Amino acid sequence: DAKIAGTFGRIMGWADKYRTLKVRTNADTPADAKKARELGAEGIGLCRTEHMFFEEDRIAAFREMICSDTVEEREAALEKILPYQQGDFEALYEALEGNPVTIRFLDPPLHEFVPTEEEDIKKLADAQGKTVEEIKTIISSLHEFNPMMGHRGLRLAVTYPEIAKMQTKAVIRAAINVQKKHSDWTVKPEIMIPLSCDSKELKYVKDIVVATADAEIAAAGVELEYQVGTMIEIPRAALTADEIAKQADFFCFGTNDLTQMTYGFSRDDAGKFLDAYYDAKIFENDPFAKLDQVGVGKLMEMAIKLGKPVNPNLHVGICGEHGGDPSSVEFCHKIGLDYVSCSPFRVPIARLAAAQAAIANK
């Protein structure tokens, strides 16, 4: 085993000498983050925070929030989740030892969080002092025919700014604590706002984030640098990237959604008919696995070309599944991305692919 580890380390060391693309990981648990660090990840490129809301106490508080009538009630419900979120982020910063950590705000549609079982609905009604019928009315008001194109991503931060404020506080408080413990690290939180399609919409949410973060930092009497960026995963965001770049420190391409929305193929259902496309020789590859360079890729190139002149410090990455696919990694190198982010076990593949891309495109 030691011999294999030695050989692996040597090969990876060669790859790292040549590559210019940084390799980060998609991780939302400390275990995944540590595994990815061992495999050479240089940061977290995507922490999907939605997974953190499903533990029992948290989901109960989140459901209370959804069914509350006033801002004060919503804030009080979210206040119960804040310490958990702060702990989640502290553990990730610890695992990353001062490397960048990109934390993405809650993304899925709200209806995914509401109870479906009668018993849970009754529990929620009792906790809220409401009738079961009233709770059911709230739940049915959240129903959407196309939830993936609906009330999710930063749209949640527009309708429920309290969620964005709570997550910002957790990100910043956690960073301040970990920074205090490790004065030799520079803890680098990056707040990522998902699913934007318009610069005014992004500004609206960014302003909430910046006001909340700056108040936290001032109250703690410390210095902390943080970044606020957005995912580019709706074609309109790529098409208006010059405006979007004025509101963002970084772009991260969410090519899972960008592929879905560029093709108009549901990412959750495409497998059901794509086989017929291979048989008919319309497609050679699954566009959700290998980046479609002529369509989706063209939008990425356009976003970079529009965004960089407006914001020369803009750093750009990818965190869709394609970030760990070698041909997609080569494309990312060619169009000038700064990093790719992929699941922990694909980190070595991305390191090798990034080195090959650098050598092949000298």
CB 132 to ligand PEP: min, Å? 33
Supply φ then ψ for residue 26, to 5 degrees: -90, 120
% helix / strand / coil in the chain, to the nearest 5? Answer: 60, 10, 30
Among 39, 41, 46, 350, binds ligand PEP (CB under 6 A): 46
CB 266 to ligand PEP: min, Å? 12
Residue count, binding to Mg ion (CB under 5 A): 3
Is position 246 an interface residue for ligand PEP (rule: CB under 6 A)?
no
Which single residue is written with the structure tokens 């119960």?
A: 80
Give 231 or 357: the residue with its C-beta nearer to ligand PEP. Answer: 231
What is the Cα–Cα distance from 166 to 173, expressed in whole angstroms?
Answer: 11
Q: Which stretch binds ligand PEP (CB under 6 A): 51-59, 253-261, 285-293, 352-360?
A: 253-261
What is the Cα–Cα distance from 327 to 286, expressed in whole angstroms?
Answer: 13
What is the Cα–Cα distance from 251 to 238, expressed in whole angstroms?
Answer: 10
CB 301 to ligand PEP: min, Å? 17
Q: To which H or E segment does residue 27 belong?
A: none
Give 161 or 320: the residue with its C-beta nearer to ligand PEP. Answer: 320
3-state secondary structure of 196: coil
Interface map 204-243 toward ligand PEP (x if CB under 6 A)? -----------------------------x----------
For the segment 57-116, give every residue that binds ligand PEP (CB under 6 A): 107
CB 320 to Mg ion: min, Å? 7
DSSP E strand boundaries for the chain: 22-26, 44-48, 101-104, 189-193, 227-232, 250-253, 315-318, 339-342
DSSP state of 341: E
Q: Taking CB within 5 to 8 Å according to partner kind, which of Mg ion, ligand PEP, none is near residue 320? A: ligand PEP
Give yes or no for a contact between 315 and 250, defined as CB atoms under 8 angstroms apart: yes
Among 100, 161, 254, 287, binds Mg ion (CB under 5 A): 254
Is position 319 an interface residue for ligand PEP (rule: CB under 6 A)?
yes
Give 40 or 320: the residue with its C-beta nearer to Mg ion. Answer: 320
Among 43, 100, 317, 320, binds ligand PEP (CB under 6 A): 320
Give yes or no for a contact between 63 and 70, defined as CB atoms under 8 angstroms apart: no
Q: Taking CB within 5 to 8 Å according to partner kind, which of ligand PEP, Mg ion, none is near residue 46? A: ligand PEP
Among 43, 254, 324, 348, binds ligand PEP (CB under 6 A): 254
Give yes or no for a contact between 110 and 156, defined as CB atoms under 8 angstroms apart: yes
Supply φ then ψ for residue 281, to 5 degrees: 60, 30
Q: Centre a 10 Å sphere on the Cβ of residue 112 and count the other Cβ atoms it contains.
A: 13
What is the Cα–Cα distance from 157 to 165, expressed in whole angstroms?
Answer: 9
Is position 321 an interface residue for Mg ion (rule: CB under 5 A)?
no
CA of residue 309 relative to chain centroid, distance = 24
Q: Taking CB within 5 to 8 Å according to partner kind, which of ligand PEP, Mg ion, none is near residue 323? A: none
For the segment 216-245, give every residue that binds Mg ion (CB under 5 A): 233
What is the Cα–Cα distance from 143 to 132, expressed in whole angstroms?
Answer: 17
Among 28, 249, 257, 325, binds Mg ion (CB under 5 A): 257
Residue count, binding to ligand PEP (CB under 6 A): 10
Residues within the interface to ligand PEP (CB under 6 A): 46, 48, 107, 233, 254-257, 319-320
The contact set with Mg ion (CB under 5 A) reads 233, 254, 257
